[in-house]
Amino acid sequence: MHVDEQTVRRIARLARLKITDAEAKGLEAEISGILDWVEQLKQVDTDNVEPMTRVVAQDMKKREDVVTDGAKADDIVANAPMTEDHFFVVPKVVE
Q: Residue 40: how many CB atoms within 10 A of its CB?
A: 8
State in angstroms the smallest separation of the CB of 85 from other proteins.
Answer: 16
Q: Which of 17, 22, 67, 71 is close enough to bind other proteins by CB under 8 A?
A: 17
- CA distances, 71 to each of 63, 66, 74, 76, 80 (Å): 20, 14, 8, 10, 17
The verdict on 78 binding other proteins (CB under 8 A) reads yes
Cβ of residue 42: shortest distance to other proteins, in angstroms? Answer: 8
**DSSP assigned state of 39:** G
* By CB under 8 A, residue 32 contacts other proteins: no
Q: Bridge partners of 57?
A: none
| Binding status of residue 75 toward other proteins by CB under 8 A | yes
Residue 91, class by beta-carbon neighbours within 10 Å (0-12 exposed, 13-18 middle, 19+ buried)? exposed
Task: Specify the DSSP element, H or E, that contains 84.
Answer: strand 83-84
CB 62 → other proteins: shortest distance, Å? Answer: 9
Question: Site residues (CB under 8 A) for other proteins?
Answer: 3, 7-8, 11-12, 14-19, 23, 27, 30-31, 33-35, 37-38, 40-41, 43-44, 46, 49-56, 58, 60-61, 63, 72, 75-82, 88, 90-93
